[in-house]
Structure 1
């Protein structure tokens, strides 16, 4: 009887445990099926709108002085002295380089000796002529003899003139030995040193006036037909983050000696003090031969970057954020061009007060 009572109580306890466990499981299942309500993220949105943007040609260039002189010599000789160095200011007419004139001194001495000898022969020929002229007039000499001494005098006169011209040539060479600056400006390059052998046409110094700078670009054959004289351009100086207006002033007629690229010079409407020769620039000019393109510009701050991918969060009809991948174009200030991935009048998120991810509900401020 006691054993039967214990078995009955054990069964009752097991039944109670099963009831409790079943109730607990039902409660857990009910809780898990209850959706979690997410708090919406406060965001600021922007509205994309398309604009008609003209096509542009962009090429790299460099600022150079409009007035540049390469100083060279017209004679051969050792460089005795270069009076100025890179960065020095010079004035037009100042002597910059001295070429050794020892050879010229010897040549001048020879020429002067030739002049003295020619003059002595001239004086002798003159005396002979005077004597035979008197003899001819007194019928003591023949006409043939007078003609001979006359010819000898003319030859002596010619030798004197030739010797004097040779001296002038040597004196000109002395002038070439003292090389003067053709312009006022600054020495920007030194291509030789004292003691070097100079030869005719060999550059020794380069001088830039520094008064006016211009942009110089090399345009490929595929685009040169689009470049016109006096065409307005924008010259963007990268190091200064500054854009200066300009216009095309010179187009090279040939690219034979410039690797198939045409040299184009652009004058600048402004000459700010901070711009310097040698600064790199980007020359931007409108392409007259192309149609306008429909583009979108959005702030750079709205762009989401993941590795090499770029995108932006847009807001769908359910007011939820969705990440949209984009293909971007060129930048202008703090705006960037969207080539694809965004449609007209579509809302995108500029900034958010919380973490954004696909599907998170948003509310506009």
Structure 2
């Protein structure tokens, strides 16, 4: 009986202590100053102001240089990252067989020239004799045929020399335009084969974006359209102009190829970087269906692991964390697919650290 009375007394004392602690906690929360915040209403996109598409930056001029002849690489004159000018020598290929062929052709030209000169003298002489009736028609015809054959032989030898000289161009690979060497596929001593890439060169003065656009949006994009291009790695926005619009998606997986020329790109924008292209379509006609797209600044979003949310204003001016489902991004704004309706207020910024249920004061 005594033990039961002692246990009851301890239990009552613990409950009283716990109650007093909770009361102090409520007083602390109640006495905390309200956090000053700025709020804003959501923006609705009633007529789809732009279409976005992902793309990749590349040089307008790019080439994988190869050769038409087989031979060993005797010298690689450039390295990756080196700037080159138009006509600069890049790769030298062994051309000993071409030099031997050229010497043979030069000898054939000398022989054909001598035969031509001799035949021409005989032709000129027999032409005079025929006019003086000192040579027959058959003799003149024979001299004429001999002369024409010698003339054709000399012309054929010269054309053979042109062919050999053209092949020399494939033993000395030069830059077709000014740019930067982006890759080398061979080294000295390797065997170069016809059609095998040797060096890759890209022009560094003009860049473009190749983007893929869905079939539902391609009708709104026209050549010459001015667009905005957001470079993801540098977070820079550049101006662009649509230069090409493909009208077939046969070989592109159901999407349409669009090329955009970049303007004002600096040295930090490199070929191979990924970008988002914004195509303005605000000039759609009035028959276009309106959409209830809700846009929210990305700076107002809260990220916790894989979840994304935003603080809204609850009853009694308290912050309520609401989880959202986010869609596409449009520059500095994100599309809200669910979790927030048009016209609802959300907290843009706060002077203190917000938490779910915190008292707020709207500025």
**TM-score with structure 2 length normalisation?**
0.73
Deviation of 1:332 (Å):
7.1
Deviation of 1:348 (Å):
6.0
Hey, what's the Cα distance between the residues in 2 that align with 1:186 and 1:50? 47
| Aligned mate of 1:43, from 27, 30, 34 | 34
Contact 1:313 1:349 in 2 (8 A): no
What runs of 5+ residues in structure 2 fail to find an aligned partner? none
- Structure 1 or 2, whichever has the larger Rg, is 1
Deviation of 1:83 (Å):
0.9
Confirm whether residue 99 of structure 1 aligns to residue 98 of structure 2: no
Deviation of 1:154 (Å):
2.3
Hey, what's the Cα distance between the residues in 2 that align with 1:356 and 1:91? 60
Any residues of structure 2 matched to 1:168-187 within 5 Å, and which? 168-187=162-181
Question: Cα distance 1:269–1:126, how it changes in 2: closer, same or farther (>3 A)?
Answer: closer
What runs of 5+ residues in structure 1 fail to find an aligned partner? 1-17
Farther-moved stretch of structure 1 (230-239 vs 137-146): 137-146
Deviation of 1:323 (Å):
5.3
Confirm whether residue 237 of structure 1 aligns to residue 231 of structure 2: yes
Farther-moved stretch of structure 1 (236-245 vs 136-145): 136-145
Hey, what's the Cα distance between the residues in 2 that align with 1:303 and 1:131? 103
Deviation of 1:280 (Å):
1.6
Other-structure match for 1:8: none
| Aligned mate of 1:269, from 263, 266, 277 | 263
Deviation of 1:244 (Å):
1.6
Q: CA RMSD in A?
A: 4.2
Hey, what's the Cα distance between the residues in 2 that align with 1:214 and 1:71? 21
Secondary structure of 1:225's match? helix
Deviation of 1:78 (Å):
3.4
Deviation of 1:124 (Å):
5.6
Other-structure match for 1:193: 187
Secondary structure of 1:165's match? helix
Other-structure match for 2:292: 293
Other-structure match for 1:247: 241
Secondary structure of 1:166's match? helix
Q: How many residues align?
A: 338
Contact 1:78 1:197 in 2 (8 A): yes
Hey, what's the Cα distance between the residues in 2 that align with 1:141 and 1:363? 123
Secondary structure of 1:230's match? coil
Deviation of 1:63 (Å):
1.9
Any residues of structure 2 matched to 1:202-221 within 5 Å, and which? 202-221=196-215
Deviation of 1:125 (Å):
4.3
